[in-house]
Chain A
Amino acid sequence: MGIRLDKPWEPLTAETVDALPAQLGVFHVADPEGTVLTVGYAGALDLFGMRTALQREIDRHGGAATQFRYEFTSNYRSRWDELLMLHIHDHGELPAHQADEAARVGRLSPQD
């Protein structure tokens, strides 16, 4: 089983986000070139789960964020940490607004 979040990108709009189930999970938000702007999770404190978390990303990035991909999981905390570590492995650093998380998470060297 692969450990990367590599599902197809979907357009990040209020309509697509509203159509999602209010479930827990993890996601990537990216710009039109596919550069990941946020490695995020929808947790139990997000009132409508994935919908609430992604709406927050729309508010954070405005028009810069145009697409997202996601995965529903109740293990959103450990899966989020795994995705953060994978991002550091692949890109050397986290998106700027998440830089503080780098001190908290560990490191992975996945078999590609």
Chain B
Amino acid sequence: MDFTLSDEQQMIVDTTRRFVENEIAPLELELDPDAGALAPADFERLVAMTKDMGFYGLDIPEAYGGPGLDTTTRALMAIEMSKHRAGLYNPCYGTFGGAGLAQLYEATDAQKERWLYPTLRGEKKGCFALTEPSGGSDPARAIQTKGMQDGAEWVLNGSKLYISGADKADYALVFARTSDDPGRNGVTAFIVDTDTPGFHVRRVVHTLRATHYATELQFEDMRVPEENILGEVNGGFAIANDRLSRQRIPYAAGCIGPAIKAQEMAIEWAKSRTTFDSLLAEKQAIQWMLVDNEIDIRHARYCILEAAQKADSGERFRTEAAMAKLVASEAAGRVVDRCIQIHGGVGVTKDLPLERWYRELRIRRVGEGPSEVQKLIMARDILGGSFK
């Protein structure tokens, strides 16, 4: 495949890189090392800049006013946008805007008016409530939240775990089991306003990621009108699954930005730090770590771009996306681990971003489908549909 960037892609990459280096990185020098947000005035100023650049609302489809980026360009931007301390889970602190929940583009016109358009205008926030305490890797079979029809309403009872943003959301996309089918054909997606009686955010779930925490939800006799069903009754899992596949390429790309930045820091450190009368860069042990980093980064980048190009050309890309997610999340973790080793003591302090990337990258091997599930997806494609 040809991975040469077009002039336009190179311009977008360069512009994004300058934005991160000139606008985001200087602000982080004054922020808490685990900060998850900019000061409101800085945020507004930078949003105005991304709007001027024509990059605001990156993931909004062109038909809805978005910039209409192809997957490859979007992946290249994701790499650049994540090259700062908070970049892994909060690239550029959200100053490029959001697209809302992708599933809402499949909603009815009335549902779009109520939830999608206010979200695109920045008036409402949504959250995605799929995973339950019973498991997240196999959600179709793990969902135990029960939806029972009662006239023109559905009554939901159950709980959800590791749900990001629920405490601040105006609505949630909640998946519940609505038939006796124990698998994917018995799940329905409901759009639920979070002020609905019976919707509870019970606690913050503290993890390796100190900002953008997850929450635990509980639904107690929560009554949802039937017009809030997204798609078909018992057809909700296809909606959830579609998101899981599409997310993998930008998710993978976002892992590589911190890895590239960590490698740049390690190279600079190795060329300036002297031990035992010579620079670290002159020692083979350090050289080999830097080379292993380079191999990991380039391997991951090729996998990401291959998946993105297949997606752009309309080819099947499920195997490539799964491979990109697995390779990038694991490679980036190894790279940052080696960079900490090269830095020594200062590498594990909060003086540098390495320790935050190290903690947060560990989650990337689990989030959006762990490495083992990515292998399962690839194995199914390699062996054929009969092997399930």
A interface residue numbers (CB < 8 A to B): 3, 43-45, 73-79, 81-82, 85, 104-111
Contact = CB atoms under 8 A, between A and B. Distances in A.
Contacts of B167: 85, 105-108
Contact of B213 (A44, A81, A104, A107): A81
Interface residues of B, number: 24
Contacts of B211: 77-78
B213 A108 contact: no
A77 B202 contact: no
B213 A78 contact: yes
B34 A111 contact: no
20 contacts: A3-B203, A43-B32, A44-B32, A44-B33, A73-B206, A77-B34, A77-B35, A78-B204, A81-B204, A82-B206, A82-B213, A85-B167, A106-B165, A106-B168, A107-B168, A108-B167, A109-B202, A110-B202, A111-B200, A111-B202
B202 A78 contact: no
B204 A107 contact: no
Nearest to A100: B40
B36 interface: yes
Contacts of A107: 167-168, 201
Interface string B190-205: 0000000000111110
Contacts of A110: 202-203
Contacts of A43: 32-34
Contacts of B350: 44
A109 B168 CA distance: 12
A45 B168 CA distance: 26
Interface in B113-168: 165-168
B37 interface: yes
B210 interface: yes
Contact of A45 (B32, B203, B206): B32
A43 B213 CA distance: 17
B214 to A, nearest CB: 9
A20 B201 CA distance: 34
A105 B211 CA distance: 12
B210 A76 contact: yes
Contacts of B165: 106
B201 A104 contact: no
A47 B82 CA distance: 28
Contacts of A104: 37
Contacts of A108: 167, 201-204
B203 A82 contact: yes
Contacts of B201: 106-109
A44 B355 CA distance: 12
Contacts of A77: 32, 34-36, 210-211
A77 B90 CA distance: 15
A40 to B, nearest CB: 13
Contacts of B169: 106
Contacts of B34: 43-44, 76-77
A108 B213 CA distance: 13
Given A77-B34, A79-B206, A108-B204, 5 more contacts: A44-B350, A73-B206, A78-B211, A82-B213, A109-B202
Nearest to B125: A106
Nearest to B203: A3
Given A106-B167, A108-B167, A74 B200 contact: no
